[in-house]
Structure 1
């Protein structure tokens, strides 16, 4: 003699609710890491990149990265209100406290556009490299990711 089993309809709603709650939990915990989050993971402030990023790739082994913006944009960088221009494609290598081989970010100073080739972080300060010349600024000046001021650019 076999034991009677509950009707399938009686257990289905419970199973359905359980599965839906698992899916909801998975969708909130498996959020993709943004390029700004990656900056933080490497000890840099988010304000080194503009707010709107279309996509990015990062090779965690070599540190090589590519950041894609929807279009070129300009932002005003604190504290001296330098105008910075971002190309649609920004590339470089990130390793520990240094971004090297940087291409796609320029700053206007002394009536000329200069390409930023690297950035070093000491925690409290950022050192921007323009070839052999460097400039140091407090990291806190870059705590907020700036919005693009426009889609115009003259450097890239």
Structure 2
């Protein structure tokens, strides 16, 4: 089957417009994959610190906002000794400007219960984290840096505590 074009001005114009659109869409998609998950978050108005360090990759459908972010495994840590957070190896949801909704894979320990964080909304310099029945506001300054799995922001103290747990038996001889 051979392609043939009729020399109609409108057909050629429509074909050229279609070709330009296809080329611009593929360029846009390729550029999106060059961004990290943290950069994508910033593009939607969120600070990088709402995700822990170690995101391996992500998928994002820019037309719907549906996303998935991937860690090497589950991730848990405490923040300032009061809140414990847990991330599953896959985090999903829908992102739009200043709003994350339908979140799955992130939970917070409140008293003795683990509650799923289902929505995060930015309003000015505040982030509102919702667990459905309740929500809490935090200053955005608390999320400038990404916490590290296992130790959060206090990794030096965690390393010292881990080192103090290592016991040396002086009565064991190598001979």
If the TM-score is normalised by the length of the shorter chain, which range does it land in? 0.7 to 0.9
Query: Deviation at 1:127?
Result: 0.2
1:43 touches 1:123 (CA, 8 Å); kept in 2? no
* Cα deviation code 1:14-70 (max 9, x no counterpart): xxxxxxxxxxxxxxx999200000111001010110110111011111000000100
Q: Is the 8 A contact 1:70 1:88 kept in 2?
A: yes
Rounded to whole Å, the distance in 2 between the matches of 1:117 and 1:81 is 20
SS in 2 for 1:86: strand
More strand by share: 1
Q: How far did 1:132 drift?
A: 2.8
Distance in 1, matches of 2:77 and 2:49, equals 10
1:75 equivalenced with 2:100 (yes/no): no
| Equivalent of residue 57 in structure 1, options 59, 67, 71 | 59
Structure 2 SS opposite 1:135: strand
Specify which structure has the bigger relative contact order, considering alpha-carbon pairs within 8 angstroms and separated by 6 or more residues: 1
What CA distance in whole angstroms lies between the structure 1 residues aligned with 2:112 and 2:127? 23
CA-CA distance at 1:107 after TM superposition: 0.4
Unmatched 5+ residue regions in structure 1? 1-28, 151-156
Match of 2:50 among 48, 51, 54: 48
Q: Which has the higher helix share?
A: 2
Per the normalisation by structure 1, the TM-score is 0.73
SS of 1:145's equivalent? coil
Q: Does the 8 A contact of 1:85 with 1:107 survive in 2? A: yes
Q: Structure 1 pair 42/71, CA: closer, same or farther in 2 (3 Å)?
A: same
Query: Unmatched 5+ residue regions in structure 2?
Result: 1-30, 152-175
Mapped pair 1:111 → 2:112: yes
